[in-house]
Structure formats: structure tokens, C-alpha cells
């Protein structure tokens, strides 16, 4: 809860995660998104700022819909928080909006759903552009097979087979609301929405679906991996560079600003939907 005399401010944040060791602040000298953003906001507030986020992304993972909050006594306009932060941030982190929130708002605990997109560039030749913002797979992938396999993972399941060994979640049981796989020229996009995710869950799902897409495994293998509840049955964890936190949802009472579902280079693909 925000203490008396403090304002609770929520921010929309986007970042390219390729040169960061993830969101969460770590030991001195380790570059993280949290510490980078806190330093910029502390200059605007002229006092220390400590952030809470909706989801702690891993090293190399990007975001275009991250939500954070902090408490401050500094009186600034919302424009000042946005523009002031961006002036003090490096090129790969950006604040997109700011809003004063009620004291009971919490970026993490009040979130009701999170949505990720995993972007694969599927071509024999390595791309020179976006090479830290997509995952390159040189083997031909059948997006229709991947989409069919993905439906085995929709709904409430025990996702232990897609959970990293260091995952700290209390329960492996999660509900996936949707998992769509679509091709757009050379790009294949995995779009997944759930109430919460396990550590490496999306990247492990992506690894399984790409294996099925190559024809190396049958469509039913996704169900077999899920039902095994054993991580090693699912193969390798997919690369982090293709993964984006694209949206965090809250109840209507908070009236957070709405933006496009990213990443930016996919916004022209109308068939992806909102």
C-alpha cells in the first residue's frame, strides 16, 4: 500500500532485452532493466525509486507491454515522468505512459492475465536484421502442424514438463487461455495468453512446437510431453531473443492506458488481431 503522503505511479515500459541480464536487479555491475529504469526515474524524482513489475523477464527477453509501479512523494506531471525517464534512459528502454493509481493497485498481484509472443524467422539464410529480436530457425517449419499441436496445451494443465528447474512458482498448474501459431511470410508467431507462467514455460513450449514443425516429432508429441510432467522429455529450451512480453491485463477499475499489441515490427500484420 502507498504510505500517507506518497503517490503510487504506474508506468508502461518497453525494452530490448538482448544486452540485459533480465529484469530483476542483481549484484553490482550486472546490467538489468530494473536497475537501469530505477536510476532514470530516481533522477526525475530527485530521490530513490524502487520498482515492482508485472513479470520478471529473463536475460535476453524483450517487452513491449511491461507494467511497473512505484511510490513517491515527488509531485510531477505524467508527461514529466514519461519524458524525464526517457531522456535519462538508454536507447533500448522506453517508458510509454504514466498514470497515478489507487493505493491498492499492484503491478504484479493485481494482474489477471499476461500475454507473450514468440517470433521465429524461418529461412535457410541467417537474417542480418532483427538478429537479436527474433529466433532464427533454418529448418523448414510447418506452422499448421505447430498450430494443431499447440491446442493440446490450451486449458488447465500441470505444466511441469515445461518448467525450468529453478522455477520458484508454488504450483505447476496453469491455465492457458489461448495459444495461436500463425505464419506471416518468413515469420512464424506464437501468441500465448495465460493467468500466469512458469519459468521458461513459453520458451520450452516454443522448443517443442518447433521440433514438431520440422517433422521430427508427431503432432501428438506435445500432449505426450505435457502428460509426462518431466522436463527432460521436452528437449531444448528455445532461445530468449524471440520472446516478448506484449500485454498485461488488469480489471477495468484501474483504467490503464491501452496500446497496440507488439512487437512494433508485427503491428502491420492485421490478421494477428488484438
Q: ∠ at Cα 140 (134, 145), nearest 5°?
A: 95
User: Are β-strands 62-72 and 52-53 bridged in parallel, bridged antiparallel, or unpaired?
Assistant: antiparallel
Enumerate residues 6+ apart whose C-beta is below 8 A from 37.
13, 51, 68, 85, 89, 93, 95
* Nearest-angstrom CA–CA distance, 128 and 121: 11
Answer whether 223's CB lies under 8 Å from 152's CB.
yes
* Nearest-angstrom CA–CA distance, 195 and 248: 9
142 catalytic per annotation: no
Is 118 marked as a binding-site residue? no
Compute the residue count for the chain: 274
Q: Which of 58, 71, 191, 247 is catalytic?
A: 58
Binding site per annotation, positions? 116
Residues belonging to the active site: 58
Binding site per annotation, positions for substrate? 116
Amino acid at each position: 500500500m502507498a504510505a500517507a503522503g506518497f503517490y503510487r505511479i504506474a508506468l508502461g515500459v518497453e525494452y530490448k532485452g538482448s544486452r540485459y541480464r533480465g529484469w530483476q536487479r542483481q549484484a553490482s555491475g550486472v546490467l538489468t532493466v530494473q536497475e537501469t529504469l530505477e536510476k532514470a526515474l530516481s533522477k526525475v524524482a530527485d530521490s530513490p525509486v524502487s520498482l515492482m513489475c508485472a513479470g520478471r523477464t529473463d536475460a535476453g527477453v524483450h517487452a513491449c507491454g511491461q507494467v511497473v509501479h512505484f511510490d513517491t512523494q515527488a509531485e510531477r506531471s505524467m508527461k514529466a515522468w514519461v519524458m524525464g525517464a526517457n531522456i535519462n534512459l538508454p536507447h533500448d528502454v522506453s517508458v510509454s505512459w504514466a498514470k497515478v493509481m489507487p493505493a491498492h493497485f499492484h503491478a504484479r498481484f493485481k494482474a489477471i492475465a499476461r500475454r507473450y509472443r514468440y517470433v521465429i524467422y524461418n529461412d535457410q539464410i541467417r537474417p542480418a536484421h532483427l538478429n537479436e529480436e527474433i529466433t532464427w530457425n533454418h529448418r523448414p517449419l510447418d506452422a499448421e502442424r505447430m498450430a494443431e499441436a499447440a491446442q493440446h496445451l490450451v486449458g488447465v494443465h500441470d505444466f511441469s514438463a515445461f518448467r525450468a528447474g529453478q522455477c520458484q512458482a508454488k504450483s505447476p498448474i496453469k491455465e492457458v487461455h489461448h495459444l495461436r501459431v500463425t505464419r506471416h511470410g518468413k515469420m512464424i508467431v506464437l501468441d500465448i495468453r495465460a493467468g500466469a507462467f512458469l519459468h521458461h514455460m513459453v520458451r520450452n513450449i516454443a522448443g517443442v512446437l518447433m521440433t514438431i514443425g520440422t517433422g521430427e516429432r508427431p503432432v501428438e508429441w506435445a500432449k505426450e510431453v505435457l502428460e509426462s510432467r518431466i522436463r527432460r522429455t521436452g528437449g531444448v529450451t528455445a532461445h530468449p531473443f524471440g520472446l516478448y512480453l506484449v500485454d498485461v491485463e488488469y480489471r477495468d477499475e484501474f483504467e490503464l492506458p491501452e496500446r497496440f499489441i507488439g512487437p512494433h515490427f508485427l503491428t502491420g500484420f492485421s490478421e494477428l488481431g488484438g
